[in-house]
Amino acid sequence: MSTEPEAPAPSTAGSPSSGPTRRTFIATTSAAGGVVLAGGAIGGSLLAAADEADAAPAVPTSRICLTVNDIRRTVTVDNRTSLLDLLREHLDLTGAKKGCDAGACGACTVLVDGQRQNACLTLAVRMEGAEVTTIEGLADGARLHPLQQTFIDEDAFQCGYCTPGQIISGVGCIQEGHTGSPEEIREWMSGNICRCGCYVKIVRAVEQAAGEQK
Ligand code: FES
Ligand code: FES
């Protein structure tokens, strides 16, 4: 039986953990399990992969300050984090939904400096100094935003998954003044998909809230 000779373990100085590296872990468990690796080929490739993983550069992070629903937040995130993941996974604001994670459904819509934006397509690191509004920030205490109320009045949802994005997008649509007719609302809300097909009622809710705000 042959096993790969154990290579000297890389130094862990300066590493946050003093535990075994992937390389030593794989080498140790292979030997202890008595696994016969033909010609050492499999073990060799495992160790090579472990070396590569150990040698991988640290993921770059950034510290950003932004305002979310009128609360100032300072967070340190992996530079690849989307605004949607920042909201949902770092700030526990799960109102904005992850539908497609690719900019195609509008379930993640939030307002950034008053403009509608797909949070899944927005890098969190670009939010330095931004004002973000999510569905959690619309109501005034116990008083719902007028559009939240008309969604209830018009029964403009079924499963509710798309609803936070629809309402935030509707708020943007009203602020932009694209509510002259049901057709115009439909056009300017077309980035928000409702798989339950509640479009007629959604348009009616936006139309009604726009009328109330005039
Ligand atoms: Fe962002 Fe679908 S989750 S557009
Ligand atoms: Fe179900 Fe819109 S209410 S997806």
**One digit per residue, pLDDT tens: the chain, 214 residues?**
434 444 444 333 334 444 455 454 444 444 444 444 444 555 566 666 666 666 777 899 999 999 999 999 999 999 999 999 999 999 999 999 999 999 999 999 999 999 999 999 999 999 999 999 999 999 999 999 999 999 999 999 999 999 999 999 999 999 999 999 999 999 999 999 999 999 999 999 999 999 998 7
pLDDT score at 40: 54
Handedness of CA 85, 88, 89, 93 (dihedral sign): positive
Does the beta carbon of 165 sit less than 6 angstroms from any atom of ligand 1?
no
The whole-model pTM stands at: 0.76
The H or E element containing residue 110 is: strand 109-112
Does the beta carbon of 160 sit less than 6 angstroms from any atom of ligand 2?
yes
Q: Are strands 109-112 and 131-133 parallel, antiparallel or unpaired?
A: antiparallel
Domain ranges, residue 209:
146-213
CA distance 107 to 164: 7
> 76 C-alpha vs ligand 1 centroid, how far in Å?
23
**CA 104 to ligand 1: nearest atom:** 4
Does the beta carbon of 82 sit less than 6 angstroms from any atom of ligand 1?
no
Does the beta carbon of 110 sit less than 6 angstroms from any atom of ligand 1?
no
Claim to verify: residue 202 and residue 155 sit in the same structural domain: yes
Neighbours of 49 (CB within 10 A): 13
pLDDT tens digits for range 167-188: 999 999 999 999 999 999 999 9
| Residue 158 token pair | 């079924």
Work out how many domains the chain is built from and give that number. Answer: 2
Claim to verify: residue 170 and residue 133 sit in the same structural domain: no
51 lies in a domain? Answer: no
56 lies in a domain? Answer: no
> Domain ends where: 119, 137, 155?
137
